[in-house]
Structure 1
């Protein structure tokens, strides 16, 4: 079956698709918020160090598992644990599969919000005041409209497969995302108050550099921002050609993802200070207000204060956020779709609609029990599943997978030292992330 699998046709297509999977809402609102609350430039410096020490090896490990197995995460992990306990590997694969569904169930709701907010400036410009208020208001009806829309958009791309769907649309969406991001940075940089934001972001406050909270926040953000621990990178790695230069591709994906996170900081933090300059409250008790209110209250209030140009800026910003959402939902949806196709012989279009329907049901359950379920699902997913699965991948490649594991077979020079780093250092660092995040 391996020779019949679809796959990426170019290095650029893979890099854009994998970076698109990693570039999500966490990069564009989570990273700048963490930086603003942890010493600005000091957080940025520690984040770059952590990307190199932990996130890059984790990204390589997950891509490597998929690339070597040329299969979906359930098959790949079962194969990797074949000698020690295939049921353990398969169970971990199913946990990742379940995690992808869980992640999509709440992520699709938030992505729907972004879509609604991107339409709102058009409604306001056309004078549809009631529609405008509906689009930015918190309502169950809005969630029931825009969550399915985002799921259908995702499904329409997945239906076309890897080459014609994921790769083609990643080539279109990622450059558009980067162009919109740079354009917004340039514009926000011309406004009063932006210079103070650039300084807060780029100039390190070294009094924060040894703060344990900063270090743990940087480790968690670096890991989560690369979309590791669900299986997105494993399934994309499996679609690479057997002779692909995995280390070089890993570095390219990490560089692009980190670059987008850095650019997001160049946009959001100066925008925060511009809003503060215009009289908008953005800090409480010395900390930046919560990410949700930042995106859905502070920034729209800033855009509204700009007059007519604010309509264009607001539209551009939320289109940017919608693209970031879509590139992430595509990769996560591909995990269960590939499982149904490869393990159960379903046609891609049948598998896609089954997965979409399952996610919609899960999303509806959250919408109907939003007050208590939404935050709980996010916490369980981000604080427990992601770091535990990341730790499991390190243990799998470093200790359990002998047959076909080139990190063990090519044990000379850099390969040897990297293998030892994955075996001993990365599990310790990953455990530290899990323990500290879980205890918060």
Structure 2
């Protein structure tokens, strides 16, 4: 039996997992979600969601990947033959996300360059949509390729594929050992500068001031679970794949707590930095803080450049650091997302890693060219809405129900994790996965389906204002349906990797033991 790749150190795995969890959403989604759902009071349901959904699912996925030593499709296949399709759905969701996520990183690279001369001028919104993206007038139009997006997009894919070519230890682990410390240092500098700006304290007061009138609103609690769920990279194959590279002696439970709290810590840091800057903007414009709060593309590429224009000093440096932080956060996530389908192809067809990277990563890079066209932003928003809202959430619900209630693997996973972890899992973990998480996620899915039946496409990132509902509806569902279909078709070819596991000792590969 061939030896499966392994992380060089425990710290390498944790940095990679944290790097996967920390992405663009930590910076441009969390601060706005927290503010709109009770400010400081939001942190109570947020922490509750972390402890009853985020970390329990992380432990479950870490255990699944470690127990069955495979990518998501192989792990599900080894768990039950009919469950393989769920693994492929997760992989296909990751594949689709990678095609447009790379484009947002390309924008960040471009804006890192623009910040050197503040090239966006005074009309930052007009610059983004007109001068830079050259946005088509009507959703659905493709238009021509936009060179300013295409060239940095090529750089993104060349860098990511080069890292993946080098493998788990010399590629992914080494890259995260560089990117994550650099990201934290850069963002700390941003926060220190932000909190010294005039009006920063008013922004922080707005961010942390608790509004307990919203505390008992179901929407606030659903928002907390949604934020935890979407920010931790759970339920679309990443954490299963990463944990399959862990050595035999691995503290799975402790790792999950470190990754979960590490991600939340960075979200809190991002909230401080963003709201300190928004407080400065509100003070400068002499308007209430709620008039300048926004999320998503509008915050990163319209509001922040406008704010930077008003800085009393070091405008160019602050802009460079901010967009570099977006680039690094995006790269660490894109690497993990792409690894899911590279690992899936290696396991299913028993091909070399080089071939899997060339085929899987190359195909994603080619498809991503669609989002580098004049109509790219429209397609990006549509695909992002349906894949992120329906794809990830629905697969997460199916995964939990399948493992807990249909295959009844919770006790087996508990014994496996307890056997190698310092922290033993108790009734908290069992109740969270068997009762709390399915109920909350089921309610989330009900709300999403209701929202789409009514064709109301409000979203925390605010990216869909002014769109034709039909464009979002039909293009989004086409992508979602295609991902489900391809996921099913991937189960049809025969496995060229041994999928029969008789005993744990037969498939846990530990080079040091040999």
TM-score w.r.t. structure 2 length? 0.78
Which shows bigger deviation, 415-424 or 247-256? 415-424
| Matching of residues 118-197 of structure 1 within 5 Å | 118-123=112-117, 137-139=132-134, 140-197=146-203
Matched, 1:298 2:303: yes
Contact 1:117 / 1:318 at 8 angstroms: preserved in 2? yes
**SS of alignment partner, residue 97 of structure 2:** helix
Contact 1:104/1:359, CA 8 A, preserved across alignment: yes
Q: Does 1:262 align with 2:268?
A: yes
Q: Deviations over 1:122-166 (max 9, x none)?
A: 3559x9xxxxx7997223222222222211111111111111111
Q: Tell me the equivalent position of 1:430.
A: 441
1:394-434 alpha-carbon deviations (Å, 9 max, x no partner):
12331344679623657998445533442233212221222
Write out aligned runs for 1:343-358 (5 A): 343-358=348-363
Partner deviation per Cα, 1:273-329 (whole Å, 9 max, x = no partner): 111112287867x68334221111111111122255010000001001100000000
Alpha-carbon contact 1:280-1:302 (below 8 Å) kept? no
Q: Which runs of 5+ in 2 are unaligned?
A: 122-126, 135-145, 419-423, 452-514
Structure 2 Cα separation of the partners of residues 350 and 280 of structure 1: 57
SS in 1 for 2:174: helix
1:14 aligns with 2:9: no
SS at match of 1:288: coil
* Structure 2 CA distance for partners of 1:367 and 1:243, relative to 1, 3 Å: same
CA distance 1:411–1:303, shift in 2 (3 Å): closer
Q: 2:110 aligns with which of 116, 119, 126?
A: 116
Correspondence 1:203 to 2:209:
yes
Correspondent of 2:384 among 364, 378, 381: 378
Q: Does 1:243 align with 2:249?
A: yes
- Are residue 68 (structure 1) and residue 67 (structure 2) matched? yes
What are structure 1's unaligned runs of at least 5 residues? 128-132
Contact 2:31 2:271 in 1 (8 A): yes
| Residues 291 and 416 of structure 1, relative CA distance in 2, 3 Å threshold | closer
**CA-to-partner distance for each residue in 1:348-372, whole Å, 9 max, x for gaps?**
2222122222112221234444354
Q: Is the 8 A contact 1:40 1:203 kept in 2?
A: yes
| Equivalent runs, 1:26-37 vs 2, <5 Å | 26-37=25-36
2:393 counterpart residue number: 387
Following superposition, the deviation at residue 233 of structure 1 comes to 0.7
Shift of 1:44: 2.5
The residue aligned with 1:57 is: 56
TM-score by length of 1: 0.90
| Bigger helix fraction | 1
Paired residues of 1:197 and 1:271 also in contact (CA < 8 A) = yes
Distance verdict in 2 for CA 1:410–1:171, change over 3 Å: closer
Superposition RMSD in Å: 2.5
2:502 corresponds in structure 1 to none
1:98-121: per-residue Cα shift (whole Å, max 9, x none)? Answer: 111100111111111111111112
Aligned length: 427
Indicate conservation of the 8 Å contact 1:402/1:408, yes or no. Answer: no
Asked whether 1:273 is paired with 2:279, we answer yes
Distance 2:288 2:15 in 1: 34
Q: Residue 402 and residue 48 in structure 1: after superposition, are their counterparts in 2 closer, same or farther (change >3 A)?
A: closer
**8 Å contact kept, 2:60–2:413:** no
Distance 1:51 1:421 in 2: 11
Q: Distance in 2 between matches of 1:344 and 1:24?
A: 30
* CA–CA separation in structure 1 for the residues paired with 2:370 and 2:346: 26
- From the superposition, tell whether residues 273 and 8 of structure 1 become closer, same or farther in structure 2 (CA, over 3 Å): same
